[in-house]
Amino acid sequence: MNPLLYVRKEPYKLYINGEFTASESGKTFDIINPVNNEPFAKAYKGGTEDVQKAILAARKAYDEGPWGRMSAKERSKLLIKAGQILSKRVEEFAVIETLECGKLFMSALYYEAQMSIDAFEYFAGKARCLEGKVVPSEVGHLNYVLWQPCGVVGEILPWNGPMMMGCQKVCAILAAGNTVVIKPSSWASLSMLLIAEVFHEAGFPPGVVNVVTGSGSEVGDELVKSPLVDMVSMTGGTEVGKQIIGRSKDTVKDIALELGGKSPNIVFDDVNIDEVVKWARAGFTLNSGQVCVSGTRLILHKNIYEEFITKLKVECEKFIPGNGFDYEKGVNFSTLISKEHANNVWSYIEKGKLEGARLVMGGKPYIDDELSKGNFVPPTIFTDVTQDMTIFQEEIFGPVLCITPFETEEEAIQIANSTKYGLAGAVFSTNIKRALRVAEKINGGQIYVNTYFSKGMIESPGTGWKESGIGVAGIYKYMISKTVFIDMIDDSAPPM
Ligand code: NAD
């Protein structure tokens, strides 16, 4: 397969009000392959005027268009149709995602693309199960609660899983009955520009889905500030999330933020070490560590400390770095998204060394001509990491693991909860009572017991505690409740 056969020669266009269009400025930007930092395509670069047009289109489609009058069943059928169209183009999407984000092709094809199709199917069903409730009230009175769409939603996406995350969020937004303006990350715009074609072919009315590329400070900020946008949902880093909180204050709009993490992975001394090292390895290296819920702080019982680390290193040495398309050569570890991001990760690695953590693996660039063209950072393991160290406290978002020893259950929980984040966490122990006790005490919205990463992610609420976010992931994030109060008594009088 030649991946470049899937790449268009002309710049990828924005999608506004049902039309594929160049940006108002006519400016384009290069799409870079992070495996070699070479441009392989171009896309139009959206700006303020483009996003304002998209917001107006989404507003009109919501307030006046056929979308607002469609039943949940009709919305559901459109989502099913779009999912079927996507499933016929799955290879193309996986290729583009691999090229643009430096992913492993097999993972893009058999996991992320499949999860994206699943999002259409799941939310098509969900659209038809949005029930309110009747609230017990006084005799002669009836109160009921409806869940209604928020209206126009601005969806701001990160670069680490743009296709899967984009589909999960946009399908939920549409199933709930909203219209949407999608702002993908500048490092990963293509999958959402292509998904616009899927919605278009499925027959979504103009303005219901819009995709505008561009910078966060211009296009993203306009979505956050605009009084015509009812709700902004953003997935990304905590610092940008804080800016959005500040910038949304003038319109008091609903915001949902899925932000960064520094998740603890607690391993007790009663486990099967050979099995758990595999989970610990996956926990910090999946997608080269660019996963929000990565288990980047391994909190390891003193009794198994050295043996576990030795075995973990052996497992990590099995990685074969390279181009994600080279699966036949066994490549199972890929590049980071950009030079800029890799430099940031390297600066954390230097800080770890300077602050006195013990580097036991990685920490230096690969010596290989091909790999040095990309943004590869090898799996890097620091041990004896203390709670005051920067690498313990801050999200690195690369394949860097910090290991801290513990002796008692209380100490493990204290270490686990001593960062500003609260996204996810894990506990490994064959003592199920202890495992569940610890799971209950870890501060975080997703906790894994004797495993790492979730199954049934789309069906389960994910919430960022502390500085990891605001709001519960899922369809109700994009809905707003309304309670209707009914007086059924003929001669009732107003309160005095
Ligand atoms: P980022 O915060 O740099 O950017 C996220 C998005 O916000 C991008 O589209 C960007 O253009 C936009 N943006 C930037 N400044 C903005 C502004 N002022 N106003 C509006 N929008 C703005 O994040 P990233 O580097 O793309 O992604 C990595 C981060 O995302 C990591 O911190 C990771 O943990 C987090 N993440 C969290 C989850 C989760 O579910 N909690 C999932 C995936 C990624």
**What is the Cα–Cα distance from 281 to 276, expressed in whole angstroms?**
9
Strand 38-44 to strand 421-422: parallel, antiparallel, or no bridges (unpaired)?
unpaired
Which residues does a 6 A CB cutoff place in the pocket of ligand 1?
156-160, 183, 185-186, 216-217, 220-221, 224, 234-237, 240, 243-244, 258-261, 292, 395, 397, 423, 464, 469
Q: What's the pLDDT score for residue 58?
A: 98
CATH class of this structure's domain 264-463: alpha beta
Q: 402 and 382 in contact (C-beta within 8 Å)?
A: yes
**List 100, 222, 258, 467, catalytic entry:** 258
CB contact set of 264 (below 8 Å; sequence gap of 6+) = 295, 297, 299, 415, 416, 417, 425, 426, 442
Task: Name the CA radius of gyration of the chain, rounded.
Answer: 24
Respond yes or no: is residue 292 known to be catalytic. yes
- How far is ligand 1, taken at its centre, from the CA of residue 260, in Å? 8
**What is the Cα–Cα distance from 271 to 278, expressed in whole angstroms?**
12
**What is the Cα–Cα distance from 152 to 190, expressed in whole angstroms?**
23
Nearest to 352 by CA among 380, 322, 312, 323: 380
- Which part of the chain is CATH 3.40.605.10? 3-259+471-481
- How far is ligand 1, taken at its centre, from the CA of residue 456, in Å? 23
Q: What's the pLDDT score for residue 26?
A: 98
Q: What's the pLDDT score for residue 299?
A: 98
* Pair of tokens at residue 437: 């006790």
Candidate of 156, 288, 458 to mutate for ligand 1, largest count of ligand atoms within 8 Å of Cβ:
156
Looking at ligand 1, which atom is closest to the CA of residue 238? 32
Looking at ligand 1, which atom is closest to the CA of residue 260? 34
- Which part of the chain is CATH 3.40.309.10? 264-463
- How far is ligand 1, taken at its centre, from the CA of residue 471, in Å? 16
Strand 469-470 to strand 421-422: parallel, antiparallel, or no bridges (unpaired)?
unpaired
Residuewise pLDDT in 10s, the chain (496 residues): 899 999 999 999 999 999 999 999 999 999 999 999 999 999 999 999 999 999 999 999 999 989 988 999 999 999 999 999 999 999 999 999 999 999 999 999 999 999 999 999 999 999 999 999 999 899 999 999 999 999 999 999 999 999 999 999 999 999 999 999 999 999 999 999 999 999 999 999 999 999 999 999 999 999 999 999 999 999 999 999 999 999 999 999 999 999 999 999 999 999 999 999 999 999 999 999 999 999 999 999 999 999 999 999 999 999 999 999 999 999 999 999 999 999 999 999 999 999 999 999 999 999 999 999 999 999 999 999 999 999 999 999 999 999 999 999 999 999 999 999 999 999 999 999 999 999 999 999 999 999 999 888 899 988 999 999 998 888 999 999 999 999 999 999 998 8
Respond yes or no: is residue 258 known to be catalytic. yes
Q: What's the pLDDT score for residue 473?
A: 85
**List 167, 292, 316, 402, catalytic entry:** 292
- How far is ligand 1, taken at its centre, from the CA of residue 79, in Å? 26
Q: What's the pLDDT score for residue 368?
A: 96
User: Long-range contacts: 247-251, Cβ < 8 Å, 24+?
Assistant: 247/221, 248/224, 250/225, 251/225, 251/226, 251/227
Nearest to 221 by CA among 178, 258, 250: 250
* Pair of tokens at residue 212: 């505008």
CATH class of this structure's domain 3-259+471-481: alpha beta
Nearest to 335 by CA among 32, 31, 30, 34: 34
Q: In which element (H, E) is residue 370 found?
A: helix 369-373
Q: What's the pLDDT score for residue 1?
A: 82
Q: What's the pLDDT score for residue 15?
A: 99
Cα 43 to the center of its chain, rounded Å: 22
Q: What's the pLDDT score for residue 68?
A: 87
Q: 264 and 452 in contact (C-beta within 8 Å)?
A: no
Distances (CA, A) of 382 to 354, 359, 362, 410: 12, 4, 9, 23
Candidate of 29, 45, 115, 160 to mutate for ligand 1, largest count of ligand atoms within 8 Å of Cβ:
160
Q: 232 and 154 in contact (C-beta within 8 Å)?
A: yes
